[in-house]
Amino acid sequence: MKKILIIALLLTCRLVATAQEQLSKKQLADKLFERYEYFKALNLYLPLADKNNPNVQVVERIAECYRLINDSKNAENWYASAISDEKSADMDWYYYAESLLRNNKLKEAKVQYQAYYAKVNNPEQLLFKLATCDSAAKWMAAPRKDYTVSLDKKLNSIYSDWSTNYYGENGIVFTSDRVTGYDDSGKQTDNRTGNGYFKLYYAIKDSVVLLPVSTDAGKIFNGNYHAGPALFNAAADTAWITVTTSVPRGNLPVDKKEKGSHQRLYTRRLMLVMATKTDGVWGNFKNFAYNNIKEYSVGHAALSYNGGILYFTSDMPGGEGKTDIWYCLKQADGNWGEPVNCGKTINTKDEEAFPVTMGDVLLFASKGHAGMGGFDIFATKGGRAQWSVLSNGKFPINSTADDFYMLTKDGATGYFSSNRDGGTGNDDIYSFKYESLPEPVKQIQPPVPVIAGPPKQSFKPEDLHAIIYYDLDKANIRSDAASELDRLVLLLKANPLVKVKLASYTDVRASGSYNIGLSKRRSEAAIAYLVSQGILRSRLSAGWFGKQNLVNNCPDRASCTETEDQLNRRTEVVYDGLSN
């Protein structure tokens, strides 16, 4: 899958032909798999899968290959076959659930997530995954009406097309692995996917051509390695381009060997290069000061509106998770300062990537925040490491697939990339149009006689009930809790006379007085969130009860499991009457 370009691309020394002849088909397939050559490995594994007596290791490898080349339907089928064998790995259950979620089989996905997390005893992550399935079901059942989304037929092919960026007044540059070269002989293919290497294409009016680059571009732009995405300044004479390093393999460190492997594997990581345009041709390539191809990747550049902050994606040490979004400040001498992490509002333990700026708005993709599954597109306001509460794009901007790289100049029109069903290739470019919905016409109601009681509301009291969970000894609003509070905000705005009470609790750890204070902070955090979303403080009341009213029978730490503790760390929201 191209989007994990930020993760290493592996190559190896050639296998000697005579050695290949001595290997069994499975051994050769295993070696190809170790080298991330999934497309080639799959074609060797498939004939080895005996339908009557399948080898679970072969079945698992077939499932893995399909997952890693982004064929979720075949991955689902093969993972289903794998978990039917008692020797299957625990992770098969997880990836089976992930495939079901990706294929919009949400109820089935929840069952498999529960089976997997019961094996590994991780109730917090189970709650996150169940909330993901529930959010996907809810948002697809009631799509946003202010966004119109359509597949861009001009830019897409049967291959992978993604990452648009504006190029001058009317042009668009995007990344694609369609099998074409810079000359008639260039037809290199990536053995990971079976498609071409990523290159940059320029679209204007009715034509799509390769972005012209100078001869000093070397192997990067001639189809031997990946190039893209690219970011351009307003004048379209300076570019920041993400590329795979073309440093000779002898200059790259050898990777740590997998158990049982005898191959010499090394990693080709991503790096940022700056280029300038002369007479319509891109050249004068210079490395970003903080590239470090021996230890980590750097890519996906985005510039603040004044050009003073450079945002990018990296898995460099010191981050929050797998890949984070970082920034550098432009110095007085024109150089860039040391990278700084954008902070925990944006970055999670999972993957964040593909930053795009629009004024003081940052658009990015995340797998770690509550959403619909895969990468979801989020928006936030701020700068550097100070950001507002995140906003999920919801459906139809997001889906259960990977949705990423949202581009817009004005918020009203633009593009994003997705590998959702219904496209023409692996990844596709979608255009969008945003139109704010008209305010509903307020009907003037006749005075209500006192004897008639309060006006009727469009809800049932039980609709307002929620439970919001917290991490151990924390009062901050988690992403799964934010989704639940967002649902509550919609109900409260639709019913402006309704009041609610937020009662908070803790688990049985710590003293009674400490837990009273902790539960108070939890109520205050939940109320602050609702107020930040436009709910009047006078409509909200709070209670804090520490470790009282446990929801399960574990009165002391020794008798409580982590699952039971998690269920007790909560805020319960209940209907509290109508305003006068």
Predicted confidence at residue 5, as pLDDT, reads 43
Q: Note the pLDDT tens digit of each residue in 302-317.
A: 999 889 999 999 999 9
Predicted confidence at residue 305, as pLDDT, reads 87
**CB-CB contact of 164 with 405 (8 Å):** yes
Q: Give the sign of the dihedral formed by CA 20, CA 224, CA 366, CA 299.
A: positive
Q: Give the sign of the dihedral formed by CA 175, CA 176, CA 180, CA 186.
A: positive
The C-alpha angle with vertex 302 and arms to 296 and 303, in degrees rounded to 5, equals 125
At 391, list the tokens: 């906003």
The answer, as to whether pTM is greater than 0.85, is: no
| Residues facing residue 133 across a β-bridge | none
Tell me 305's DSSP state.
T
Domains and their CATH numbers in the chain: 2-141 (1.25.40.10), 147-256+265-434 (2.120.10.30), 454-578 (3.30.1330.60)
What length is written for the chain?
A: 580
At 63, list the tokens: 């499932």
In 143-226, the DSSP E strands lie at 147-151, 161-167, 171-176, 199-204, 207-210
Residues contacting residue 342 through CB under 8 Å, at least 6 positions apart:
311, 324, 325, 326, 327, 384, 385, 387
Q: What residues of the chain score a pLDDT lower than 70?
A: 1-23, 180-188, 218-219, 222-223, 260, 439-460, 462, 553, 555-559, 580
**Whole-angstrom Cα distance, residue 39 to residue 190?**
9
Please give the single-letter amino acid code of residue 293: I
Q: Note the pLDDT tens digit of each residue in 123-137.
A: 889 989 999 999 999
Nearest to 340 by CA among 407, 288, 386, 271: 386
**Whole-angstrom Cα distance, residue 372 to residue 392?**
9
**CB-CB contact of 356 with 405 (8 Å):** yes
